[in-house]
Amino acid sequence: MTARAQEARAQVTGDALRAEQVALLTRIEERLRWLSSWTVHNANNLREKRDGLKVGGHQASCASMTAIMTALYFHALGPKDKVAVKPHAGPVLHAIHYLLDEQTREKLQAFRGLGGVQSYPSRTKDTIPVDFSTGSVGLGVAVTAFSSLVQDYLVAHGQLAEGDTGRMIALMGDAELDEGNIYECLIEGYKHDLRNCWWIVDYNRQSLDATTADRMFRRFDDIFETCGWRVVTLKHGRLQREAFQRPGGKALEDWIANCPNADFAVLTYLGGAAWRERLERDLAGVPGVSELLAAHDNAALARLMTNLGGHCIETLLDAFDAATGDQPTLFIAYTVKGYGLPLAGHKDNHSGMMNTAQIEGLRAELGIAPGEEWDKWAGLGDNLAARLEALVKDSPIARKTAEHRAPAVPVPARLPVPEGAVQSTQAAFGRILFDLAKSDAALADRIVTSAPDVTQTTNLGAFVNQRGLFRRQELADVFQKAKIPSAQKWSAHRAGQHIELGIAEHNFFLLLASLGLAAPHFGTRLLPVGTVYDPFIARGLDALNYGCYQDARFLLVGTPSGITLAGEGGAHQSINTPLIGMGQPGLESFDPAFADEVALLMAWAFGHMQAEDGSSVYLRLTTRQIEQQLRSDEAWEAGAIAGAYWLREPAPGAGAAIAYSGAVAPEALAAWEQLRGDIPGLGLLAVTSPDRLHRDWSAARAARWSGGVRRESHVERLLGQLAPGAGLVTVLDGSPAALSWLGGVRGQRVSPLGTDRFGQTGDLPDLYRTYRLDAEAIIDAMAELFLG
Ligand SMILES: Cc1ncc(C[n+]2csc(CCOP(=O)(O)OP(=O)(O)O)c2C)c(N)n1
Ligand SMILES: [Mg+2]
């Protein structure tokens, strides 16, 4: 045989194999469409209901993506790839793992019930492998870009072999393209030379409320290409492309190109007869069109018109195969929301559900007998079922290894306390990190710092001088080369340990989430330390919550904070962050006052971030220089970690105490000095963590009610040293509610001080007086408690 003949034969064999693969994957797509629909139907219509509430689920959003997910999971996905799945396509992901025998029927039947499959994929609550939790749209998309960056960081640091890298993939809805965080992430990604990242858009041109604006056509291509992405648009399926080649086909193609999204959706919903009527009208007299239409009955015409790229397995396989190399790639896969369901195209289909007759119709259409709804390959015959089973078992995703359990990084029992009789918590934090950076502790090598353009002003600069900026390509410090004096000597190289970010705080929190998942994702534990101006935590709050929800582990430092920031004024002074710290699950927050507390809490944090039942940690710091405490022993330390300790022990049964948090320690001490003559045995409670104190109190109470171990919480023990009717003055530079609850612990009277109005510029004496945080305010509050 000649070489050319051999080539031709190989082509024929290749085509036949592809056709076989497409035929099998088409069957799998049907199963995923069925199982996801049935899971939602079962939970809403068949399972017993006790509360009259809608269970919910998104059949149309699932059906929109089943072909995309089939082609991805059973063909394109490599064992090292990681995927963030569009939240409302969660049931499809579970159906995939059901086919892989990694999900149980019981869990699917309990969809959206306690202990069942979660509404949206969850790393921590679902039992199948979930690479990224999703739910708040946009976040699961952008996080993949930051995880690609983390992967590159590990490669550059010799912690991950280039051959063990994968693509970080987001399967996203088109409405996610409306979220601003996507574009912040694009810009940051471009700066960091993002690679190995795929975003696949389920471009059904419907969001929750509406069909999307026609004007956006091609705009996304421009935006992404500008930021260095390859854009692959999958507009038409094979049927359509073939039809376009026939006489009249070009007119049909143009008609589709110009059809408004809403019209396309309406016609999709109405079906074949409506398509025919409209096309006959719009394309009347165009040569070839009536023959083209006549060659399709109504069902075939509806199939043709909805044969978009995102529903054509062959088109998807070809596109995924062709996207070689590591350039970040956006696939815009045109789809129909509710494809293959009677809900297809209807504008209300986001939460719409098939009624019983409709789901029965789909069941019959797919050849599934009543009672066999949960059977993986029902109605397909043994031969086909065996081939499908084999395809599923042979797919790369079936070879995916379990997530890593990275060994812990040893943490020194103590971190040295910075010297100095007068210090701020922020400076102490910077100094402790600097000392670590100079040390050869294993811990220091795993710390990765980052900040949204506030590296210098949050005292990370010294660490960066020592350990360098991370860049895949070396970048000299031009100022240093030019011998221009500067405190910041920031050369960028592959071994650098600071990831420089632009000012967008949202990116910063997503990066912390990605870094904080390095251990399970890539098998190397990183200890991320991120600093942000405390009030701007609010800018990235949803992303912070997102990181915590996934159990990512990081140390967040909010600094400077409160009205203690004085000169910067009301727009920069944080007020409610102590409440954010208390209210955020997965984040243990602290408001320390002294440098030795900071050292203690940082050492504890590096351990807690690695503990099985640990969490992320948040330190709220300030630039206020305060006089340090002389300690006679280490007895205070356990209390400081638990959330509070007596800075001045009360006499047994004392009638009052002052409880303070953070920067106002000097005012609390001054007031204590002035009052202790009048109130014998007056206590002074240093509350390092209202958060931990409250959590422990709640847990102890809950344990009493639920038959758990009966124990006294730390705060009950502390306040139990006072008289039952004692008076408490609480004070912090933040919302007074963070401490006012202390009065409820033992029913003691409380007078809470704090800030509950916007701050303003001023010097500290003026501001503390104006906002009633000074010693005089504390004394007045105490007097009021006693005199009424
Ligand atoms: C941040 C955020 N806002 C609002 C919602 C509520 N919500 C869930 S899905 C959705 C629309 C999704 O449309 P699209 O991304 O196009 O997905 P489709 O279902 O069309 O595939 C909205 C508004 C959410 N989950 N997250
Ligand atoms: Mg959509």
pLDDT digit string, tens, across residues 23-48? 999 999 999 999 999 999 999 999 99
Q: Which of 184-193, 312-321, 465-474 has the lowest mean pLDDT?
A: 465-474
CB distance 299 to ligand 1 below 6 Å: no
Query: Stretch 110-130: mean pLDDT, rounded?
Result: 97
Q: Could you read off the pLDDT of 628-672 as tens digits, one per residue? A: 999 999 999 999 999 999 999 999 999 999 999 999 999 999 999
Identify the residue whose C-alpha is closest to ligand 1 atom 19: 61
Report which ligand 1 atom has the smallest distance to the Cα of 135: 25
Amino acid 704: pLDDT: 85
Amino acid 217: pLDDT: 73
Rounded Cα gap, residues 754 and 768, in angstroms: 10
Q: Could you read off the pLDDT of 294-352 as tens digits, one per residue? A: 999 999 999 999 999 999 999 999 999 999 999 999 999 999 999 999 999 999 999 99
Ligand 2 center from residue 201 Cα (angstroms) = 9
CB atoms within 10 A of CB 242: 13
Ligand 2 center from residue 416 Cα (angstroms) = 54
Q: Which DSSP category does 416 fall into?
A: P
Going by C-alpha positions, the residue among 82, 81, 75 that lies closest to residue 21 is 75
Ligand minimally distant from the alpha carbon of residue 170: 1
Q: To which residue do tokens 């080649």 refer?
A: 245
Ligand 1 center from residue 174 Cα (angstroms) = 9
Q: Could you read off the pLDDT of 419-456 as tens digits, one per residue? A: 999 999 999 999 999 999 999 999 999 999 999 999 99
Ligand 1 center from residue 181 Cα (angstroms) = 14
The length of the chain is 788
Ligand 1 center from residue 351 Cα (angstroms) = 11
Ligand 2 center from residue 353 Cα (angstroms) = 16
Identify the residue whose C-alpha is closest to ligand 1 atom 12: 207
Q: Which two tokens stand for residue 431?
A: 């100094």
CB distance 691 to ligand 1 below 6 Å: no
As a whole-number percent, the residues of the chain with pLDDT over 70 amount to 100
Rounded Cα gap, residues 644 and 741, in angstroms: 14
Amino acid 708: pLDDT: 73
Report which ligand 1 atom has the smallest distance to the Cα of 139: 1
Amino acid 788: pLDDT: 66
Q: Could you read off the pLDDT of 558-572 as tens digits, one per residue? A: 999 999 999 999 999
Rounded Cα gap, residues 134 and 123, in angstroms: 9
Going by C-alpha positions, the residue among 614, 548, 606, 609 that lies closest to residue 123 is 548
Opening angle at CA 577, ends 634 and 750, nearest 5: 70
Ligand 2 center from residue 177 Cα (angstroms) = 10
Opening angle at CA 389, ends 172 and 354, nearest 5: 50
Probe target for ligand 1 pocket from 68, 69, 208, with the most ligand atoms within 8 Å of CB: 208
Ligand 1 center from residue 653 Cα (angstroms) = 57
Ligand 2 center from residue 265 Cα (angstroms) = 12
Rounded Cα gap, residues 84 and 87, in angstroms: 8
Amino acid 263: pLDDT: 94
CB atoms within 10 A of CB 713: 21
Probe target for ligand 1 pocket from 122, 207, 542, with the most ligand atoms within 8 Å of CB: 207
Residue 307 in 3-state DSSP? coil
- Cα 555 to Cα 286, 447, 512, 548, 663, distances in angstroms: 66, 10, 9, 11, 20
Q: With cut-offs at 50, 70 and 90, classify the pLDDT of residue 404.
A: confident
CB distance 205 to ligand 1 below 6 Å: no
Ligand 2 center from residue 336 Cα (angstroms) = 9
CB distance 175 to ligand 1 below 6 Å: yes
> 104: number of CA atoms within 13 Å, CB side?
7
Query: Stretch 160-185: mean pLDDT, rounded?
Result: 97
CB 17, CB 24: distance < 8 Å:
no
Rounded Cα gap, residues 50 and 741, in angstroms: 35
Ligand 1 center from residue 225 Cα (angstroms) = 25
Rounded Cα gap, residues 547 and 366, in angstroms: 40
Going by C-alpha positions, the residue among 367, 363, 387 that lies closest to residue 24 is 387
Ligand minimally distant from the alpha carbon of residue 141: 1
Ligand minimally distant from the alpha carbon of residue 541: 1
Q: Could you read off the pLDDT of 570-628 as tens digits, one per residue? A: 999 999 999 999 999 999 999 999 999 999 999 999 999 999 999 999 999 999 999 99
Rounded Cα gap, residues 206 and 344, in angstroms: 11
Ligand minimally distant from the alpha carbon of residue 140: 1
Probe target for ligand 1 pocket from 88, 174, 209, 541, with the most ligand atoms within 8 Å of CB: 88
Q: Which residues are within 8 A (CB) of 555 and not within 5 positions of it... i.e. 6 or more apart? A: 527, 528, 529, 530, 602, 605, 606, 609, 616, 617, 618, 619
Rounded Cα gap, residues 733 and 663, in angstroms: 7
Amino acid 1: pLDDT: 67
CB distance 625 to ligand 1 below 6 Å: no
Per-residue pLDDT at 114 exceeds 80: yes
CB distance 176 to ligand 1 below 6 Å: yes
Ligand minimally distant from the alpha carbon of residue 86: 1
- List, in sequence order, every beta strand (DSSP E) within 468-533: 469-470, 492-493, 498-501, 527-532
SS3 for 564-629 is HHHHHCCCCCCCCHHHHHHHCCCEEEECCCCHHHHHHHHHHHHHHCCCCCCCEEEEECCCCCEECC
Report which ligand 1 atom has the smallest distance to the Cα of 207: 13
Identify the residue whose C-alpha is closest to ligand 1 atom 13: 207
Going by C-alpha positions, the residue among 637, 674, 679 that lies closest to residue 657 is 679
Amino acid 594: pLDDT: 98
Q: Could you read off the pLDDT of 535-554 as tens digits, one per residue? A: 999 999 999 999 999 999 99
CB distance 173 to ligand 1 below 6 Å: yes
- pTM (predicted TM-score): 0.96
Ligand 2 center from residue 211 Cα (angstroms) = 8
Rounded Cα gap, residues 577 and 322, in angstroms: 48
Element (H, E) at 322: helix 313-322
| Residue type (1 letter), 56 | G
CB distance 363 to ligand 1 below 6 Å: no
Residue 703 phi, psi (nearest 5): -65, -35
CB distance 204 to ligand 1 below 6 Å: yes
Query: Stretch 451-477: mean pLDDT, rounded?
Result: 92
CB 85, CB 91: distance < 8 Å:
no
Ligand minimally distant from the alpha carbon of residue 134: 1
Query: Stretch 120-145: mean pLDDT, rounded?
Result: 97
CB distance 174 to ligand 1 below 6 Å: yes
Per-residue pLDDT at 7 exceeds 90: no
Q: Which residues are within 8 A (CB) of 306 and not within 5 positions of it... i.e. 6 or more apart? A: 268, 336, 339, 344
Query: Stretch 728-756: mean pLDDT, rounded?
Result: 97
Ligand 1 center from residue 173 Cα (angstroms) = 7
Residue 594 phi, psi (nearest 5): -115, 155
| Residue type (1 letter), 786 | F
CB distance 64 to ligand 1 below 6 Å: yes
Identify the residue whose C-alpha is closest to ligand 1 atom 10: 208
CB atoms within 10 A of CB 16: 10
Q: Which of 209-223, 631-645, 670-684, 704-718 has the lowest mean pLDDT?
A: 209-223
Report which ligand 1 atom has the smallest distance to the Cα of 120: 25
Identify the residue whose C-alpha is closest to ligand 1 atom 17: 173
Ligand 1 center from residue 702 Cα (angstroms) = 36
Query: Stretch 726-749: mean pLDDT, rounded?
Result: 98
Ligand 2 center from residue 203 Cα (angstroms) = 6
Report which ligand 1 atom has the smallest distance to the Cα of 173: 15
Quickly list DSSP for 362-387. Answer: HHHHTTPPTT-TT-TTTTS-HHHHHH
CB 583, CB 739: distance < 8 Å:
no
Q: Which of 98-112, 201-215, 374-388, 475-489 has the lowest mean pLDDT?
A: 475-489
Identify the residue whose C-alpha is closest to ligand 1 atom 25: 136
- Cα 37 to Cα 33, 182, 202, distances in angstroms: 6, 29, 18
Beta strands across the sheet bearing 492-493: 492-493, 469-470, 498-501, 447-452, 527-532, 555-558, 616-620, 587-590
Quickly list DSSP for 699-719. Answer: HHHHHHHTT------HHHHHH
Rounded Cα gap, residues 321 and 318, in angstroms: 5
CB distance 136 to ligand 1 below 6 Å: yes
Average pLDDT, the chain: 96
Probe target for ligand 1 pocket from 178, 182, 336, 350, with the most ligand atoms within 8 Å of CB: 350
Q: With cut-offs at 50, 70 and 90, classify the pLDDT of residue 154.
A: very high
Q: To which residue do tokens 């909010």 refer?
A: 558
Burial, 96: exposed, middle or buried (Cβ in 10 Å; 0-12, 13-18, 19+)?
Answer: buried
Q: Which DSSP category does 747 fall into?
A: T
Q: With cut-offs at 50, 70 and 90, classify the pLDDT of residue 355.
A: very high
